[in-house]
Amino acid sequence: MTSRFFVPAVRTASRSFSLVRTFQTSAVRRAEVVAAAPVKKPVGAFRGGLFGFLLGATTAGAGMYYYVIDEYRVSNELLTEDIYALQSAVQRIETYVKTLEEKVASKRK
């Protein structure tokens, strides 16, 4: 029973409250704030070109240096491997020649 009594009063209060509080914005608040772009000091064409050239030449030189060092390391390892293979082949031939000389010397006696 009490809820039926308060419902018309709440409806009347909500209507008057909604009429009093309306939501409005002004055009100034809706406009975006545009900040001024920072002023950049222009770099001259000569100075920019020189800097770009030096940066590119340094980068290319560093890349070439590391490429040449890597190729040198690889070729040095291959050469060392070939030298060790040649050394082992010479030792095998030397032992084979020694055994042949011993056999020839034993046959002569």
d(CA 1, CA 89): 116
Q: Which two tokens stand for residue 20?
A: 């009093």
Tokens 């409806």 label which residue?
11
d(CA 63, CA 57): 10
The tens digit of pLDDT for each residue in 56-71 reads: 999 999 999 999 999 9
d(CA 62, CA 56): 10
The tens digit of pLDDT for each residue in 8-60 reads: 555 555 555 555 566 666 665 555 666 777 777 766 777 788 899 999 999 99
